[in-house]
Structure 1
Amino acid sequence: MLDVTPAEVVTSRDSVRVTSPARTWCDLAVQLTVPELVAAGDRLLRSGRVSLGELRSAADARRDRRGMVAIRSALPLLDPRSLSPKESELRALVVLAGFPVPGVNVDIHAPTGEFVAMVDLFFEAFGEILEYQGDHHRTDRRAWRRDRTREAELEALGYHVMEVTDDDLVNPEALLRRIARNLTRRGWRGEPRPLDEIRRHLRIPGA
């Protein structure tokens, strides 16, 4: 039987006790990586079904200590402005790796004030943009052409656009090296954390 306090349950029409969204998110911490947990949390926050305060309260009230490292790591990374799970995973990986915290879904305008694009992740101080590209960007010819024009317009304004795919997220070491090179080339003087330091956040916490 679930260990559920009265404040953490709701009753369905069939009078079945189920955990609240906040409690469920905490329970997922024993199965998901930290980036995946961030993606789930971002989705909940964006839906309006739960607040950040409720997630924090659920974490504080949690009796099962399994997954607490993942929960505590994920909470400060949550952002309801994220529009897709993979975008959330990419942002979590970037911040865990010690890079500057990027802006999320930022509108870019030309000097004339004309809107150019909304970009996924934006390192404003360095003019570096990260764009997650799902398969539909590749298989939809119209979307592919639109992406190329959009990227050319951003590059013409002096920004650098780095595209990221799901394959890159599967091989984070190469991805993080590439991000570090691009940011360093554009003036960043920091150092990313070694992959070994964040590896525990990228595996299944309960394994």
Structure 2
Amino acid sequence: MPHPRPLPAPFVDRPFTVAAARSAGVDADRLRRRDLASPFSGVRVPNGALPAAKLAAVALLACGPTAFLCGGSAAAWHGMPLPPRLARRTAVEVAVPAPGRAIRRRGIIGRVLDVTPAEVVASRDSVRVTSPARTWCDLAVQLTVPELVAAGDRLLRSGRVSLGDLRSAADARRDRRGMVAIRSALPLLDPRSLSPKESELRALVVLAGFPVPGVNVDVHAPTGEFVAMVDLFFEEFGEILEYQGDHHRTDRRQWRRDRTREAELEALGYHVMEVTDDDLANPEALLSRIARNLVRRGWRGELRPLDEIRRHLRIPGA
């Protein structure tokens, strides 16, 4: 098979619209050749010219000048953590301002959003996207409360928004969907959190009615020597919660360090409870275990009713 004809210079190493290529004299047959990918209707990408992270920006090419990234696609663009059910989704969420008509194209989830000019910003790559604070509020219709807390913690830690910015965005929100989740998540946010799962665990603990734990607290021996920084610390009860990702299991050196660290903490009289992603997937059993450990060490509180806790753990619309 003969090699395809070279493309004009503006289309060699970057995504382009079919309309722009046709205007430059590229015929329809050339635009169907295998060296051009078509991730979205009306858009072509020279093979190898598109990092996966840029796919969302390419979707905007065919959507007109008023379109912008929103929802999970905007969150990913801003670097917010998303649960796997959203992170694995290949369709891109694109909105137009109300009262426009939602875009209907292959590979695009079209939405119409009532936004103010300040709620749509241009990134350093000139990609139009909902602002970080607006994006966080919009996520409330797709995430559980602990997942929303994880996204907000990451934003606060990045320094791109303040807690006041998120509160102002919530107060200004015209769309009242998700407001219960937003109001539940706001008082739980903490920029000291170092990982999304740690954030989810902390949110679950507080929503369940346990005391608010310290976050990433430095623990020292009586001599003043530093021993460890622990994820969540119920200091009054000497109880420590540590979220353990898979690398703590698969990395042999990390596993050994963890065991030594845990032994040092327990030698000081603390109790260390490790929590994994499987535990988070079974919150009732996890919370019961935490309660038993705290009661044994002097806690006299009570868990909130399970129905009330479950309400915060539901995926909206599921």
Distance 1:123 1:81 in 2: 16
Q: Secondary structure at the match of 2:256?
A: helix
Q: Secondary structure at the match of 2:304?
A: coil
Please report the RMSD computed on the Cα atoms of aligned residues, expressed in angstroms.
1.2
Q: Is the 8 A contact 1:10 1:19 kept in 2?
A: yes
Distance 2:123 2:289 in 1: 49
* Alpha carbons of structure 1 residues 193 and 13: separation in structure 2 relative to 1, 3 Å: closer
The equivalences for 1:77-92 within 5 A come to 77-92=188-203
Distance 2:300 2:127 in 1: 55
Distance 2:307 2:224 in 1: 44
Task: Tell me which moved more, 196-205 or 37-46.
Answer: 196-205
Distance 1:81 1:169 in 2: 20
Deviations 1:53-87 (A, max 9, x none): 00000000001111000000000000000000000
Distance 1:146 1:2 in 2: 49
CA shift, 1:197, in A, is 1.2
CA shift, 1:133, in A, is 0.3
What residue ranges of structure 1 are gaps of 5+ in the alignment? none
CA shift, 1:164, in A, is 0.2
CA shift, 1:2, in A, is 2.6
Deviations 1:151-173 (A, max 9, x none): 00000000000000000000000
How many residue pairs match? The answer is 207
* Alpha carbons of structure 1 residues 5 and 131: separation in structure 2 relative to 1, 3 Å: same
TM-score (norm 2): 0.64
Deviations 1:13-59 (A, max 9, x none): 67654210000000000000000000000000001111100000000
Distance 1:26 1:111 in 2: 44
Q: Secondary structure at the match of 1:63?
A: coil
Distance 1:14 1:159 in 2: 49
Find the partner of 1:140 among 208, 226, 251.
251
Q: Secondary structure at the match of 2:227?
A: strand
Q: Secondary structure at the match of 1:93?
A: helix
Q: Is the 8 A contact 1:67 1:206 kept in 2?
A: no
* Alpha carbons of structure 1 residues 128 and 14: separation in structure 2 relative to 1, 3 Å: closer
Higher relative contact order (CA 8 A, sep 6+): 1
Distance 2:280 2:268 in 1: 28
Q: Does 1:191 align with 2:191?
A: no
Distance 1:142 1:15 in 2: 43
The equivalences for 1:53-68 within 5 A come to 53-68=164-179
Q: Is the 8 A contact 1:126 1:183 kept in 2?
A: yes
Find the partner of 1:97 among 199, 208, 214.
208
* Alpha carbons of structure 1 residues 44 and 189: separation in structure 2 relative to 1, 3 Å: same
CA shift, 1:3, in A, is 1.5
Q: Secondary structure at the match of 2:136?
A: helix
Deviations 1:98-155 (A, max 9, x none): 0000000000000000000000000000000000000000000000000000000000
* Alpha carbons of structure 1 residues 158 and 6: separation in structure 2 relative to 1, 3 Å: same
CA shift, 1:7, in A, is 2.2
Q: Is the 8 A contact 1:28 1:37 kept in 2?
A: yes
Q: Is the 8 A contact 1:35 1:74 kept in 2?
A: yes
More helix by share: 1
TM-score (norm 1): 0.97
Q: Is the 8 A contact 1:126 1:188 kept in 2?
A: yes
Q: Secondary structure at the match of 2:113?
A: coil
- Shift >4 Å, 4+ stretches: 12-16
Q: Is the 8 A contact 1:130 1:164 kept in 2?
A: yes
Q: Secondary structure at the match of 1:14?
A: coil
